[in-house]
Amino acid sequence: MTPPATLRQKAEFFAFRCVAAALSALPAPTAAALCRGLAAAVCALPPKWTRRDVARKNLTIAFPDLSPAEIDDRVRAMWTHLFRLVTEMATFSRKFRRSNMPDVLAFRNRDETTRALNSGRPVIMLSGHFGNWEASAQAFEAFGIPLSVVARDLDNPLIHGWFAERRRAGGGRLISKKGGGGEVTEVLAARGIVGLLGDQDAGSRGLFVPFFGKDASTFKSIALLAIEYDALVLIGFARRLPDDFRRNRWVRFEIGTEAVFDPRDFTEGSAVKDLTAAYTAGIERLVRRSPEQYFWVHRRWKSKPRPRGRKARERAAALERERQAGDGADGASARRAVAA
């Protein structure tokens, strides 16, 4: 049973609703300018308060050719994006409708996405800390497609409940990341659609696959679920397009899929790692398209691989000797065939 909300949580929820109402009343150009000002203010704070050093380090890894000044510009643009994300979420219910979709949305890979969603197979809609994920959810709701999103519970249960109720009202579902595994498998078994984040650090036990040229710990559970339930994996996204307030009264988004992966195409012994590497590369392509819309303060490269034990090293060495012996035998056979 959920404990009753505290007085502080009630006050936070009241403040949240007031801010959301105020933001939703602002014209889009005014809201965008306000967000730029707030981003500049955040960047003026001590770096340890805003994890600016983490963002700088991550951007340097991803884009080593950028100068320090260009890195700082990207950090400021990221904060502008995050503030705009909040203002957009506050206005979606009032400004995003099926009737004005052509004015708000542009689609990428529409046919490929439609085929996957109507394939009769379960779907894992995968994305990263990128763009405006709420725009994707709103589009699913507008089209009447139920989407079950896995997310961490917010610290304030009233705010969390507000978001969960909005998802249910649109025919969707919010699944708690903590202890929600049974609900996820239930949706996939029923050939439903599950929304997951695929760019979270999985600790030292995760699969290490390249992300912007550097190995990053990644959860293997997504690939395991896709293989077990024969689920298509879609790299979905919703990114904000450049503003054109002279022609459009509100913001515009590009939504769709970057790629679709079928687990049936990954049949080798390394299928789990290969599928994980493939979708991680897809998320990287998304981020490269609009790097300012990525959450660079997330410690994506935090974990390092665990040192292998003696038995694991001996096993790896034995496999390498077998491989070399096999290569040598194949080479000898080839030479005999040529000689013959």
316: amino acid identity, one letter: A
Tens digits of residue pLDDT in 158-188? 877 877 777 666 666 778 777 778 889 999 9
Residue 313 confidence (pLDDT): 61
Percent of the chain with pLDDT over 90: 51
Structure tokens at 266: 């990954």
Tell me what the mean pLDDT of segment 129-150 comes to.
Answer: 83
pLDDT value of residue 340: 38
Q: With cut-offs at 50, 70 and 90, classify the pLDDT of residue 328.
A: low
Q: What is the pTM of this model?
A: 0.83
The per-residue DSSP string of 268-300 comes to: STTHHHHHHHHHHHHHHHHHHHSGGGB-TTS-T
Contact of 127 with 136, CB cutoff 8 Å: yes
Distance CA 90, CA 86 (A): 6
Residues 257 and 238: their CA atoms lie apart, in Å, by 9
CA distance 212 to 284: 7
Task: Name the pLDDT band for 126 (thresholds 50, 70, 90).
Answer: very high
Q: How far is the first Cα of the chain from the last one, in angstroms, to the nearest whole number?
A: 80
Q: Which is more confidently placed, 315 or 67? A: 67
pLDDT band at 324 (very low <50, low <70, confident <90, very high): low
Q: Output the CA torsion sign for 87, 93, 97, 98.
A: positive
Dump strand ranges (E) for the chain. 105-108, 123-127, 148-151, 173-176, 193-197, 207-211, 214-218, 232-240, 253-261
What integer pLDDT is reported at residue 331 of this predicted model?
A: 46
Assess whether pLDDT exceeds 60 at residue 51: yes
For residues 89 and 96, the answer to whether their CB atoms sit within 8 Å is: no
Q: How confident is the model at residue 338 (pLDDT cuts 50, 70, 90)?
A: very low
Q: CB–CB of 254/107 below 8 Å?
A: yes
Mean pLDDT of 251-276: 93
pLDDT for the residue numbered 224? 96
